[in-house]
Amino acid sequence: MEADYVVVGAGSGGCAMAYRLAEAGKSVIVIEHGGTDAGPFIQMPGALSYPMNMSLYDWGFRSEPEPNLNNRQLATPRGKVIGGSSSINGMVFVRGHAKDFDHWAEAGASGWSYADVLPYYRRMETWHGGNGAASEFRGNSGPLHVSRGPRKNPLFHAFVEAGRQAGYEVTEDYNGEKQEGFGPFEATIHKGQRWSAANAYLKPALKRENCTLVRAFARKVVIREGRAVGVEVERSGRVEVITARAEVVLAASSINTPKLLMLSGIGPAAHLAEHGIGVLADRKGVGANLQDHLEIYMQFASKQPITLYKYWNLWGKAFVGAQWLFTRTGLGASNQFESCAFIRSDKGVDYPDIQYHFLPIAVRYDGKAAAEGHGFQAHTGPMRSKSRGAVTLRSADPREAPVIRFNYMSHPDDWEEFRKCVRLTREIFAQEAFEPFVKHEIQPGQGVESDEKIDAFIREHAESAYHPCGTAKMGRRDDPMAVVDPECRVIGIEGLRVADSSIFPRITNGNLNAPSIMVGEKAADHVLGRGMLAPANSEPWNSPRWKTAQR
């Protein structure tokens, strides 16, 4: 089999890449190890806790024991299905803050400043929020539908009002001009259905004759005389090579992309030699710079029986499921994350560094233990941890999962930032707006006040927000830690690019699905050798008081 372009991974970046290359008339083969996304567990937004805990749809990675988190091994779900992690995630849509991308550009990813990426965010979306009209910040004709939940539960409004009462900004659109503040959350949900990268990009692309999906397990990139010429895959028990006439694009996730690069001879020379892999390009940044968002769930018992707990039983779930199956409406049509906030932890912090997901039930991501009956929770954590981890090879066997070490909480600033999250959150839930609803704090719990007790709670209860990135950093070609240049080309090998969250020089604010899709969109224009979309000159809002005030 051969095509102009071979894309490895039908996830957020890969689907967008396939769509744009096929649209431009190029022949594309997309290699995906996972299978179909048909069925209610993926397509029903309200069922989001199921697919990420199903081995059918998830690679099932776990971190190594994390020394600063009581040696716990944390789940690291990655989608093994068409749509990749956009088919198993929480569907939350956050572009990142303008300053995140300006930082990328300053760090060596020239051409990736906010002015450069905003046109791609506009191109990729059809926005149904606000009055749904396109603005200088929002798009209205892209493949990816972005909508807002109905926010019928009074708790969603109480959360935003409490933020206002505590002195924080309120924002009508955190993905538009002003991220900072409390306001409505956005999601990749369309007509009551999960609008994954598979639904938005891959399925329309596959309707074209020049785009093909191949179910196979990618083993390595085939490189001849310094040039990528194809991908070695295992399919139905046979090993074969799928040939790329022009280029190979890796979009296999921030866990599998560095693994494939190393198996192909691209990575830190000493580490490859340990596993008997011949070195074709000595890039010590491959697998390094691993970042993630860590979060805790602050849970409160509810005075009123208005939370989703009333559906947390067999009959309730059956009712919600049936209503969704027949009408695509009701609670099943929402991810239940309908209010959020982005705030600054302190004066002198120039843009938000704490995020809140508000949820009208007290429950864990894995769907276990609805705490104590009626309750609600805020997921919160720092956005820009200074801790860095790595993805390395366990062996030269492609079938073995890589070694994932996040080194969570390994920087002293992380502890200080997390304690602030706990204390600022308590203050928000103590506002008048929550007086009718807050009965008491479930966790961390009333007795957890001192730094020591808060730290102990974090060690035992912090969970990944599932936002791994950074393991094939984009930067200047002379940066020894950069893996790809600002056109997403792997440095030292011809005909090979990366188009997923691996290339983020630094983690962005909030959830990573939107920036991962944007990377696929923009990288496609680099691959096609087109001029880039003209930079935007829209001015994003920044707090005029950031130097002197926390809010």
Per-residue pLDDT band for 4 (boundaries 50, 70, 90) equals very high
Does residue 370 carry a pLDDT above 90? no
- Write the DSSP symbol of residue 200: I
Category of 83 on φ-ψ map: left (φ > 0), alpha (ψ -120 to 50) or beta: left
What are the structural domains of the chain?
Answer: 1-61+75-92+116-145+188-288+468-503+511-533 (3.50.50.60), 150-184+294-382+409-461 (3.30.410.40)
How far is the CA of 167 from the CAs of 254, 343, 475, in angstroms? Answer: 38, 11, 39
- Write the DSSP symbol of residue 202: I
Does residue 371 carry a pLDDT above 70? no
Contact 90, 503 (CB under 8 A): no
Phi, psi dihedrals of residue 127, rounded to the nearest 5°: -95, 130
Burial 292-302 (b: 16+ CB within 10 A, else e): bbbbbbbbbbb
- Nearest CA to 229 among 217, 245, 252? 245
Per-residue pLDDT band for 235 (boundaries 50, 70, 90) equals very high
Do you find a cis peptide bond into 444, omega within 30 degrees of 0?
yes
How far is the CA of 539 from the CAs of 67, 95, 136, 195, 385, in angstroms? Answer: 43, 16, 10, 29, 27
Q: How far is the C-alpha of 430 from the C-alpha of 377, rounded, in Å? A: 14
Phi, psi dihedrals of residue 389, rounded to the nearest 5°: -120, -160
Contact 280, 226 (CB under 8 A): yes
* Helices marked H in 275-349: 314-327
- Mean pLDDT to the nearest integer, 212-240: 98
Per-residue pLDDT band for 287 (boundaries 50, 70, 90) equals very high
Q: Comparing 49-53, 322-326, 487-491, which segment has the lowest mean pLDDT?
A: 49-53
* Helices marked H in 213-252: none
Per-residue pLDDT band for 368 (boundaries 50, 70, 90) equals low
Contact 381, 296 (CB under 8 A): yes
Q: Which pLDDT does position 457 carry in this prediction? A: 97
Find the largest Cα–Cα distance for the chain. Answer: 70
- Mean pLDDT to the nearest integer, 189-201: 98
Does residue 118 carry a pLDDT above 90? yes
Q: How far is the C-alpha of 27 from the C-alpha of 211, rounded, in Å? A: 6
Per-residue pLDDT band for 281 (boundaries 50, 70, 90) equals very high
Does residue 503 carry a pLDDT above 80? yes
Per-residue pLDDT band for 135 (boundaries 50, 70, 90) equals confident
- Write the DSSP symbol of residue 124: H
Contact 110, 103 (CB under 8 A): no
Size of the chain, expressed as the number of residues it contains: 551
Q: Which pLDDT does position 309 carry in this prediction? A: 93
Which entry of 145, 461, 467, 526 is annotated as an active-site residue? 467
- Alpha carbons within 13 angstroms on the beta-carbon side of residue 354 total 27
Q: SS3 breakdown of the chain: % helix, strand, coil, rounded to 5?
A: 30, 25, 45
- Mean pLDDT to the nearest integer, 419-442: 97
Q: Which pLDDT does position 232 carry in this prediction? A: 98
Q: Which pLDDT does position 366 carry in this prediction? A: 62
How far is the CA of 16 from the CAs of 9, 96, 122, in angstroms? Answer: 11, 18, 14
Q: Which pLDDT does position 363 carry in this prediction? A: 84
User: Two tokens at 341?
Assistant: 């906030």
- Mean pLDDT to the nearest integer, 415-419: 98
Per-residue pLDDT band for 131 (boundaries 50, 70, 90) equals confident
Tens of pLDDT, residues 79-108: 999 999 999 999 999 999 999 999 999 999
Average per-residue pLDDT in the chain? 96
pTM: 0.98
Q: Which pLDDT does position 294 carry in this prediction? A: 98
**Residue 467 among the catalytic residues:** yes
Question: What proportion of the chain, given as a percentage, has pLDDT over 70?
Answer: 98
Does residue 119 carry a pLDDT above 80? yes
List the beta bridge partners of residue 417. none
Q: Which pLDDT does position 130 carry in this prediction? A: 77
Instruction: For residue 527, give the H/E element and its range.
Output: helix 513-527
Residue 236 burial class via C-beta count within 10 angstroms: exposed 0-12, middle 13-18, buried 19 and up: exposed
Phi, psi dihedrals of residue 462, rounded to the nearest 5°: -60, 140
Per-residue pLDDT band for 365 (boundaries 50, 70, 90) equals low
- Nearest CA to 256 among 214, 221, 294? 221
- Mean pLDDT to the nearest integer, 453-476: 97
Does residue 405 carry a pLDDT above 90? yes
